[in-house]
Amino acid sequence: MDSFLDRVAERAGLSTRQEADRLARATMSALSERITAGQINDLSPGLPPELGTELAGHTGQAVAFDKSTFLDRISGEIETVDLDEAERQIRVVFAVLREWVPDEEIDDTLGQLSPELADMFRPS
């Protein structure tokens, strides 16, 4: 079975597993800022080991920010200035995440996001 990062790398068209790791960690870090600590605790057990620790350090209050800010935060981490490409890659991470995490936890996470961010979780 492919690992989470292998799936992200393949589907996002990334050349290395390290690029997939950076993308997945940046995405999960930004997501963890948008959801409550309780939801982080509920979401973490369903994550693959390579990402479980990424959420563990986020225990503060959820911060409201829009899709543009979300994309900016992640694009800075993955070193791309093309926000359309960043969004495409983030959607890949979310698609793979849906395969790993129970549906009820995805639904609970989506309930804490703005409609424009929640839409990034949905298949395109």
Per-residue pLDDT tens digits for 99-122:
998 999 999 999 999 999 999 988
Fold of 4-115: Globin-like (1.10.490)
13 vs 96: CA distance, rounded Å: 14
What pTM, to 2 d.p., does this model score? 0.90
Which pLDDT tens digit goes with each residue over 69-79?
999 889 888 88
Domain boundaries, the chain: 4-115
6 vs 103: CA distance, rounded Å: 22
Residue 93 has pLDDT above 70, yes or no: yes
